[in-house]
Structure 1
């Protein structure tokens, strides 16, 4: 990330962090799993537009977040561009420019935050099927993936949100589908361990391997 983007990013975090703590009283577990130096992919479930800010306040390091292209083109696009987020076209099957930018950031020892579900989950499934972006980034650069799960609800002054970071997933000796499989199941396990029981009871869970097999049968 350019030094000018880094300054804007840190300035925005300085503003948003205290507001986030006042409004949502966040609980952060396992932040020690985020490396203090070197590149790493940070990947987790996506339930709310505020998820990236939650991840940002969990570390003193600058985090490059993959964000949908519409945010860069909207009226507040200057904030996203200034903070160094990486635009992704969610309507395209492939995003080579975004992948190239993320890989470059990782090789420069940055943290990159990815939502493998690619969109917010409004279904009764515990997790949506994962895109392969996070796994490919890790595979190409050799950096670990730090899985996380966000639970609770973003209801100001009424509820608390929680983020739990799991142990790193290392890509060495694995293919991309194996990395993605491990990431999916790791995040699912974090959700099952931390999601409120009354919410979890209404969720369906399919392992990544089961989803892949079903997808192959119908394709």
Structure 2
């Protein structure tokens, strides 16, 4: 990865970090340590904001597959394109190109993120049927899939940004409120990528994990807790009796 792409990815992560800290109740929970290197993040897709915020779950440069129409948005689209993001052309179909480019990136030991539903989740709290591409890519590159469950508060979603002018099928932008992420344990798969029944079995397993993680994120978001640090901490430990 050249310096320009790395710089843009790091700059984008810094901007989103500032946004998340100031405007969101942003929370990430890892069920297991996240090893560095090639892997495929597979999250649900409740909002158009997801690709931007997902970059915060890892310190590594993260290449994300996004709707090609997002790249038509002034400035944002250009930055995304220059950062090496892989465009998904839903109208003309570029599935084989996506798989080829994704495998190339994984072979360079960088992680990628794929929204396996292939579109925004019709209902924020429910997962759609998954496409098989995420399993085919992971099998071909011999890397794990890391399932991700995202919860957002639906009342803070805005649906009108860029919708008409840029012909997005639907855009939902989260500008405020809860954004909770749960990162699951990596799933390792082996087998023939051309075995359709095997691929469907793997996709079913990924789907169940994402649904479980979505529920875990929601439970954590709605659970009330009280915690604080002392305003004036002890300068030293109290003496023993």
TM-score, structure 1 length as denominator?
0.81
C-alpha change, 1:83 and 1:32, in structure 2 (3 Å) is farther
Give 1:46 shift.
0.1
Matches within 5 A, 1:1-219: 1-30=1-30, 32-36=32-36, 38-76=37-75, 77-123=77-123, 126-153=126-153, 155=156, 159-173=177-191, 175-195=198-218
* 1:125-146 CA-partner distances (Å, limit 9, x unpaired): 7211111111111010110000
Pairwise CA RMSD: 2.4
Q: Secondary structure at the match of 2:66?
A: strand
C-alpha change, 1:123 and 1:151, in structure 2 (3 Å) is closer
Give 1:158 shift.
6.0
Bigger CA radius of gyration: 2
* 1:87-126 CA-partner distances (Å, limit 9, x unpaired): 1112245511111111100111111000001111123872
Q: Hey, what's the Cα distance between the residues in 1 that align with 2:106 and 2:218?
A: 30
Give 1:166 shift.
0.7
Query: Would you say the 8 A contact 1:33–1:166 is kept in 2?
Result: no
TM-score, structure 2 length as denominator?
0.74
